[in-house]
Amino acid sequence: MLAGESPVTLVIDPSETSAPAAPPLSDLVARDARAFGGYARAGSWAFALLVARSVRPGGQAAAETPKVSAKEFAQLADCSPERVMRYYKAWDRAADDGMVPHFEALQPGQDVELPDADVWLSYYVSRNSATSERGTAIAEAAEAEGIRPTKALEVAENPTALRAAILADPSTARAARAALLDRVREDPELQAELARDVVRTDDLKKAVATESRSADRIGYVRQIAESGQIRTPAGQTVDAPVELREEAERHLSLIDELEDGEDTGGWAAEAYDTMKSLVVETVEADPELRVQERRTKFYSSLQKATKAFEELTFDDAQDFYEDDMVERLEELQQAIGGCLAALRGTGRNPSQE
């Protein structure tokens, strides 16, 4: 502004620059928002408070309090008395734990600080199953596991939620598998049902066969490590060399160090094949054992052949006689003759000594 000039005053219409004024907040909207916030923080505790401050405790006369009975409250709420009592009992259990005030300390319309929503399921049982034989068993099992019975009862009453958790969460599925295995050991009927499910499901049947093969291979290696003996291909049981036993122990230690759930198939196959090869090498490296192995194998084959021949019957040969049968027997006779000649040619026939 230049010297001597008068100041200029600008007049601005507020309507041209200000944002449109917000409409007045509805009391109904504000009340709903506050109710929503309270429920979001406290969950079903908010409903339980309505019951706790309006339903009179058992043994208290109607004249002593403005509260009403659970039946009257249910009629006013247009629901069942059983539903009201479930909230009533949940509040009672929480009061015993010091989580909320006891009924006697509450008056209709009174507000109190409520526990977090995630604590609710620890006290609420959706059905009156806790008093049944089934509920009692679940409660006892929960106490043995060191958890609150109401948690286990809640899960038992909502198998669909349990199924969803198992399908969605690997850690829940593993916990369920471990629990199911513990139950199977004591429940023959469940064992049979699971076995039928497995054999009727191709993927499961293949998986069981694979795991069974791995377990057998690990058992073979473990037997060598623990007993210190090996079984030769011909069926002899002999003491394992120190080096072979140490190798078995080494493979076992590698397998035992695998994490839970880690596939043992490859490790089991490697350990089994290694031990099998070492057993063969052990037999071949010992001349006396090698001879004994061949002798044992010969007697085993001879016994099988003898048994097979003894099972042949000729009582009804006339009914099925064919020239080919005679030819096969003649060939067998010639083979036996050749074996006898070979044995006699060794000069060690005991009948000639």
Cβ–Cβ under 8 Å, residues 191 and 181: no
With cut-offs at 50, 70 and 90, classify the pLDDT of residue 37: confident
Host H or E run for residue 242: helix 242-256
pLDDT in tens, 12-33: 454 545 555 656 777 788 877 8
pLDDT in tens, 45-92: 888 899 999 998 766 677 778 888 888 898 998 888 888 888 888 898
With cut-offs at 50, 70 and 90, classify the pLDDT of residue 273: very high
- Measured over the CA atoms of residue 194, residue 200, residue 201 and residue 205, the dihedral's sign is positive
Lowest mean pLDDT among 112-121, 170-179, 231-240, 265-274: 112-121
CA 116 to chain centre: 31
Dig out the tokens for 308 from the structure. Answer: 């097979």
Backbone angles phi, psi at 312, to 5 degrees: -70, 135
Q: What is the CA radius of gyration of the chain?
A: 42
Domain ranges, ordered by start, for the chain: 25-122, 133-200, 203-288
Dig out the tokens for 73 from the structure. Answer: 């409250």
Matching residue, tokens 């590698």: 254
- Written as one letter, the residue type at 211 is E
